[in-house]
Amino acid sequence: MEQFAQIQVSHLFFLAFASLAVVAAFNVILQRNPIYSAIGLIVVMCSLAGLFLTLSAEFIAAIQIIVYAGAIMVLFVFVIMLLNIREEDAKADRQKYLKFLAVPLFLALIGVVMAALKTIGNPAASSNVPGTVENVAEGMFTNYLLPFEATSVLILMAIVGSMFLARRESAEDTNEIETALNAANQPTAVEESSEEEVHA
């Protein structure tokens, strides 16, 4: 507990971002509506970017928001909106036992990790602070050039693969999105009746 005598602003930032991340992460797994899960995940990613800043990893923090929150999660939200996924039915759940397995497993895993963490003590931070664009670029284009180039090939494969998977098989389903949108925008029975009242 002697750590708490030395409390600083960075500790407060850590606690704020960490609690935000944990709450949002629970939001991701407990919501039944995928769009709420997606928003939870966006919050987790932004608070992790804040935590990276407390570790003075400025470049990674910026990239975290640009790539994860600004590109990958936009794709997720885009797909959720495009397919117009609403809340799923609970009855479709075939593997209910998994849910009861989840809670004890969750607690057990946390317990094991916390027990392991007790053994590492409190190592001092290095005086050498990596994290500026220069540091990262130097590493990326000298020692780690090959992995970096390999990732660009991976990206190219992903582009080709996803275009092949998502391409339309025939012309007849080109109107599919519009039909899906129209179907989803039909007001439900309750709203319909109240709308009629307004019109009347």
Question: What is the footprint of another protein within residues 42-101 (CB under 8 A)?
Answer: 42, 44-46, 48-49, 51-52, 54-72, 74-83, 85, 88, 92-95, 98-99, 101
Kindly state whether residue 145 participates in binding another protein, applying the rule CB under 8 A.
Answer: no
Q: Give the position of tokens 């409390």.
A: 7
Nearer to another protein, 79 or 175 (CB): 79
The 3-state secondary structure of 99-146 reads HHHHHHHHHHHHHHHHHHHHCCCCCCCCCCCCCCHHHHHHHHHCCCHH
* Dist. CA 20–CA 44, nearest whole Å: 7
| 163: its two tokens | 């275009």
At its nearest, how many Å lie between another protein and the CB of residue 38?
7
Q: Give the position of tokens 């130097």.
A: 138
Select the residue interacting with another protein from 1, 2, 5, 200 (CB under 8 A): 5
Select the residue interacting with another protein from 2, 146, 172, 185 (CB under 8 A): 185
At its nearest, how many Å lie between another protein and the CB of residue 200?
16
Select the residue interacting with another protein from 16, 30, 149, 193 (CB under 8 A): 30
Select the residue interacting with another protein from 149, 176, 179, 193 (CB under 8 A): 176
* Dist. CA 186–CA 191, nearest whole Å: 10
Q: Counting beta carbons within 10 angstroms of the beta carbon of residue 114, is it exposed (0 to 12), middle (13 to 18) or buried (19 or more)? A: exposed
At its nearest, how many Å lie between another protein and the CB of residue 175?
13
